[in-house]
Chain A
Amino acid sequence: MTEFDRFTLGNGLRVIVHHDASTPIVAMNILYNVGSRDEHPDRTGFAHLFEHLMFGGSVNIPRYDEPLERVGGENNAFTNNDFTNYYLTVPGHNLETAFWLESDRMLDLAFSTKSFDVQRNVVVEEFRQNYLNQPYGDAWLLLRPLAYKVHPYKWAPIGIDPSHIEQASMNEVRDFYKRFYNPCNAIMVIAGNVETDEIKALSEKWFGVIDKGNLNQRKLPVEPEQTEARSLTVHRDVPYDAIYKAWHMCSRADDGFFASDLISDILSAGQSGRLYQQLIKKLRLFSEINAFISGDMEAGLFVVTGKLIKGVSLAEAELALQQEIDEICNNLVSEMELQKVKNRVEAMMAFSEMRVLDKAMNLAYYELLGDAELVNTLVQKYAFVTINDINAEAKKMFRPENCSTLYYIAKN
Chain B
Amino acid sequence: MNTLLNRKQHPPIKPLGRINFPQPEISQLSNGIKVYQFNTGTQDVISVEMVFSAGSWFQKKPFTAMATNLMLREGTRNYSAQKLSESLDYFGAHFENTTERDNAYVTLYSLNKHLNNTLPLLGEIVKNPIFPEDEYSVLAGKQLQMLEVNRQKVNFLARTHFNSILFGNDHPYGMYLEPNDIGKVNNTDLIEFHKRQYHSGNCTIIVAGLIKPGILNELEAHFGGNDWKGAEHNHIQYLTSGSDEKSHFHLKEGAMQSAIRIGGMMFSRSHPDFAGMKVLNAILGGYFGSRLMNNLREDKGFTYGIGSSVVPLRNGGYFVISGEVGAGVTKEALTEIKFELNRLCNEPVGESELSLVRSYLTGEMLRAVDGPFAQADLYRELIEDNLDISHFEDLIDTVQHINAQQLQDLAIKSC
Contacts and interface: CB of A to CB of B under 8 A. Distances in A.
Interface-central residue, A59, A60, A71, A97, by most chain B CB under 10 Å = A71
Given A23-B370, A238-B149, A350-B44, A60 B8 contact: yes
A353 B288 CA distance: 25
B89 A270 contact: yes
A281 B304 CA distance: 38
B103 interface: no
A353 B90 CA distance: 21
B81 interface: yes
Interface string B89-132: 11111100000000000000111001000000000000000000
B186 interface: no
Contacts of B44: 350
Nearest to A59: B7
Interface string A73-104: 11000000000000001110110110110011
B41 A354 contact: yes
A334 to B, nearest CB: 12
Given A239-B145, A240-B145, A271-B81, A347 B45 contact: yes
Interface residues of A, number: 85
A350 B43 contact: yes
Contacts of B142: 280, 287-288
Q: From A66, A132, A133, A277, name the one whose CB has the most chain B CB atoms within 10 angstroms.
A: A133
A254 interface: no
A348 B148 contact: no
A100 B10 contact: yes
Contact of B93 (A66, A339, A347): A347
B89 A340 contact: yes
Contacts of B326: 121, 124-125, 128
Contacts of A269: 89
A126 B324 CA distance: 10
B146 interface: yes
Nearest to B11: A96
B23 interface: no
A160 B41 CA distance: 43
A346 B92 contact: yes
Contacts of B254: 237
A67 B324 contact: no
A100 B135 CA distance: 57
Interface of A is mostly: helix
Given A97-B11, A272-B85, A346-B92, A287 B111 contact: no
B301 interface: yes
A203 to B, nearest CB: 12
Most buried by A among B1, B110, B302, B360: B360
A377 interface: no
Contacts of B362: 72
A70 B301 contact: no
Contact of B256 (A67, A118, A133, A208): A133
A135 B43 CA distance: 38
A277 B92 contact: no
A106 to B, nearest CB: 12
Given A69-B356, A125-B325, A135-B153, A270 B297 contact: no
Interface stretch (B55-63, B371-379, B380-388): B371-379
B367 A60 contact: no
Interface string A263-293: 0000001111100010011001001100000
B299 interface: yes
Contacts of B305: 129
B90 A343 contact: yes
A17 interface: no
A114 B298 CA distance: 10
B209 to A, nearest CB: 9
B301 A355 contact: no
Interface string B138-156: 1001100110110111100
Interface string B11-26: 1111011000000000
Contact of A118 (B109, B149, B299): B299
Given A132-B256, A347-B45, A350-B111, A310 B360 contact: no
A309 B141 contact: yes
Contacts of A205: 1-2, 5
A20 interface: yes
B57 to A, nearest CB: 28
Nearest to A239: B148
Contact of A310 (B111, B145, B151, B154): B145
A22 B41 contact: yes
A104 B11 CA distance: 13
Interface string B270-301: 00000000000000000111000000011111
Given A287-B141, A347-B92, A348-B92, A65 B301 contact: no
B148 A91 contact: no
Contacts of B342: none
Interface in B300-318: 300-305
Contacts of B141: 284, 287, 309
Nearest to B86: A272
A20 B42 contact: yes
B356 A66 contact: yes
A260 interface: no
A104 B2 CA distance: 14
A405 interface: no
A22 B40 contact: yes
Contacts of B181: none
Given A277-B82, A347-B45, A270 B153 contact: no
Contacts of A120: 301
Nearest to B299: A118
Given A71-B363, A74-B364, A339-B90, A354 B11 contact: no
A125 B257 contact: yes
A325 B92 CA distance: 24
Contacts of B89: 269-273, 340, 344
Contact of A126 (B5, B304, B366): B304
A170 interface: no
A147 B176 CA distance: 41
Given A118-B299, A125-B325, A135-B149, A65 B359 contact: no
Contacts of A238: 149, 152
A184 B325 CA distance: 39
Contact of B255 (A123, A133, A239): A133
B11 A91 contact: no
A119 interface: yes
B88 interface: yes
Contact of B154 (A70, A91, A133): A133
14 contacts: A69-B359, A90-B363, A117-B301, A118-B300, A124-B326, A126-B304, A135-B152, A206-B5, A209-B5, A240-B145, A240-B149, A271-B81, A273-B89, A284-B138
Interface of B: 1-2, 5, 7-8, 10-14, 16-17, 40-45, 73, 81-82, 85-86, 88-94, 109-111, 114, 135, 138, 141-142, 145-146, 148-149, 151-154, 254-257, 287-289, 297-305, 324-326, 355-356, 359-360, 362-364, 366-367, 370-374
Interface of A: 20, 22-25, 59-61, 65-67, 69-74, 89-91, 93-94, 96-97, 99-100, 103-104, 107, 115, 117-126, 128-130, 132-136, 205-206, 208-209, 237-240, 269-273, 277, 280-281, 284, 287-288, 307, 309-310, 336, 339-340, 343-348, 350-351, 353-356
Nearest 6 Cβ contacts at the A-B interface: A72-B363, A121-B301, A347-B92, A271-B85, A270-B89, A60-B7
